[in-house]
């Protein structure tokens, strides 16, 4: 007896013609008039190949392909879709739906040879499977299409995040919230490598073991996870399972995502993570590129410090926070002494080296909560949230001493000694502009009093100084 093939077509004449051709070519064909009857038979009997019409009453050929591919019994069985009116779109959708080949009914004389070629491929392994589901074909198809619609919707939501978010941390917050709405998890963590090197976790605020568990699951060792507290996360239970997927882009791993899910939802969690694994790479890459572009726009090209625009954004947020939480905020304006003389004597290249050295010194000396930025020209800004005036003065003095003790090496083999003057002020009942003005006035006083020193601004804003102040700043 020849290889078994199942022929499905609601046209009696067409079905008879194809069966006759297959018998003549040595096949052993069976046939059904509807896709539903054919699917039921395919799930209960073993066939070497299936041939189906694309346009049948009830279930179409492409829908049947998806249904057969979703069942392990028929997942690898060759399927040929026939059509009376072949189109490129029809071929594309048939193949995307799981068809092995697409053929016009007018060319069905080629069908026996096509089936031999498809069946000559490596045979599928024998499966020791339980009895097929008792659910009707229509019910199984409905479930399959509903699952496909859900995955399509979830994919769209993930892709949509890239249109709104400009940072990886923002992307993670949105992704965590989205996934939290469709599956219960104790924590979710994302470790990004190569395009930002950041790590994030969403968990309950009182879950003390989540960070260590996430770090172990991600396989990144002792990492610092930026924490997002979300009380909607499930509490710790003994019945949970950790799932992890790698996110790849261009053949390289760019991130890993791990979820500690409730065990009873592990199967649905794995399915959802599969969608995330498929959709997240270009989204993550795009968000990183936007983040990187924003960082470049907010960074000083010479020193790498945040520029004046970024500093103003930071200060505006810091002032709002200080008002809301009734906490202190202090700033210091830092000016390189006699910088014009350095440029005149040694050249602008030497001046650039000096500025980069001072920027590096500031980055080493400030606290994680502080901001060091290039304010403009040879002037820098140091913003110190939750810091009173005396503490700000001590931080500024430490910076002044570090700069004074540093000899800046030049490419010519020379070294240049530099110093800075600083004006320090604490936020009072005033605007940000007024705070900056008081720090500027204190800086002018430090330079007028001999340079390489600190002056602390008085509590209330002073009247603006005139042209003599501007001239003194211009002369370094």
Q: CA–CA separation, 46 vs 75, rounded Å?
A: 12
Residue 441 has pLDDT above 90, yes or no: yes
Asked if residues 42 and 68 have their Cβ atoms less than 8 Å apart, the reply is yes
Distance, in Å, from the CA atom of 33 to the CA atom of 56, rounded to the nearest integer, reads 9
Token pair 């073993």: residue: 46
| Segment among 107-116, 195-204, 309-318 with least mean pLDDT | 195-204
Tally: H helices and E strands in the chain: 15, 17
To the nearest whole percent, how much of the chain has pLDDT over 70? Answer: 90
H or E element in which residue 382 lies:
strand 379-385
pLDDT tens string 443-463: 999 999 999 999 999 875 444
Q: What does the alpha-carbon distance between residue 243 and residue 260 come to, in Å, rounded to a whole number?
A: 6
Q: Is the pTM of this model over 0.85?
A: no
Identify the band that residue 236 occupies on the pLDDT scale cut at 50, 70 and 90: confident
Q: If you classify domain 308-474 with CATH, what class do you get?
A: alpha beta
Chain CA centroid to CA 269, Å: 19
**pLDDT per residue as tens digits for the range 122-171:** 655 444 555 566 678 888 888 888 888 888 899 999 988 877 887 888 88
Q: If one looks up domain 4-125 in CATH, what number appears?
A: 3.40.50.2300
Specify the domain boundaries for CATH 3.40.50.2300 within the chain: 4-125
- The CATH architecture annotation of domain 144-297 reads 2-Layer Sandwich (3.30)
- 397: exposed, middle or buried (Cβ count in 10 Å: 0-12, 13-18, 19+): middle
**How confident is the model over 363-381, as pLDDT tens digits?**
888 887 899 999 999 999 9
CA–CA distance, 440 with 333 (Å, rounded to integer): 7
DSSP assignment of 400-436 equals HHHHHT-EEE-TTS-EEE--EEEEEEE--SS-HHHHH
pLDDT of residue 345: 92
What is the location of CATH 3.30.70.270 in the chain?
308-474
Q: What is the DSSP letter of 107?
A: G
Query: What pLDDT, in 10s, does the model give residues 16-67?
Result: 999 999 999 999 999 999 999 999 999 999 999 999 999 888 888 999 999 9
């Amino acid at each position: 007896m020849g290889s078994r093939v199942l022929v499905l077509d609601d046209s009696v004449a067409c079905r008879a013609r194809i069966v006759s051709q297959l018998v003549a070519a040595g096949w052993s064909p069976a046939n059904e008039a509807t896709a539903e009857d054919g699917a039921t038979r395919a799930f209960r009997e073993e066939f070497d190949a299936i041939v189906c019409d694309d346009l049948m009453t009830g279930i179409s050929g492409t829908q049947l392909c998806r249904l057969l591919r979703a069942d392990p019994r028929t997942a690898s069985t060759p399927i040929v879709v026939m059509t009376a009116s072949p189109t490129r779109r029809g071929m594309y959708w048939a193949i995307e739906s799981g068809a092995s080949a697409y053929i016009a009914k007018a060319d069905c004389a080629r069908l026996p040879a096509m089936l031999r070629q498809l069946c000559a491929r490596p045979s599928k392994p024998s499966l020791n499977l339980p009895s097929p589901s008792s659910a009707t074909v229509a019910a199984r198809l409905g479930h399959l299409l509903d699952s496909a619609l859900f995955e399509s919707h979830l994919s769209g939501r993930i892709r949509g995040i890239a249109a709104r978010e400009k940072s990886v941390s923002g992307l993670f917050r949105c992704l965590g919230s989205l996934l939290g709405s469709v599956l219960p998890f104790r924590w979710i963590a994302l470790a990004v490598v190569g395009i930002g090197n950041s790590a994030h976790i969403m968990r309950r605020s009182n879950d003390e073991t989540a960070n260590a568990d996430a770090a172990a699951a991600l396989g990144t060792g002792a990492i610092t996870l930026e924490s997002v507290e979300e009380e909607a996360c499930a509490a710790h239970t003994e019945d949970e399972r950790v799932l992890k997927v790698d996110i790849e882009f261009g053949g390289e791993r760019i991130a890993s995502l791990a979820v500690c899910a409730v065990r009873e939802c592990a199967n649905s969690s794995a399915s959802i993570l599969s969608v995330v694994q498929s959709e997240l790479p270009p989204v993550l890459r795009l968000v990183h590129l936007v983040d990187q572009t924003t960082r470049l726009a907010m960074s000083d090209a010479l020193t790498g410090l945040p520029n004046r625009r970024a500093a103003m954004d930071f200060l505006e947020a810091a002032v709002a926070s200080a008002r809301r939480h009734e906490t202190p905020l202090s700033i210091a304006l830092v000016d390189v002494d006699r910088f014009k003389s350095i440029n005149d004597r040694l050249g602008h290249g030497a001046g650039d080296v000096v500025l980069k050295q001072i920027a590096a010194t500031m980055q080493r000396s400030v606290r994680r909560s502080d901001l060091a930025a290039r304010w403009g020209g040879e002037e820098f800004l140091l913003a110190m949230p939750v810091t009173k005036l005396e503490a700000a003065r001590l931080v500024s003095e430490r910076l002044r001493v570090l700069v004074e003790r540093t000899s800046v090496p030049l490419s010519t083999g020379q070294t240049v000694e530099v110093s800075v003057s600083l004006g320090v002020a604490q936020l009072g009942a005033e605007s940000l502009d007024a705070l900056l003005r008081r720090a500027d006035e204190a800086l002018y006083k430090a330079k007028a009093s001999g340079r390489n020193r600190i002056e602390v601004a008085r509590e209330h804003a002073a009247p603006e100084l005139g042209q003599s102040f501007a001239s003194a700043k211009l002369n370094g």
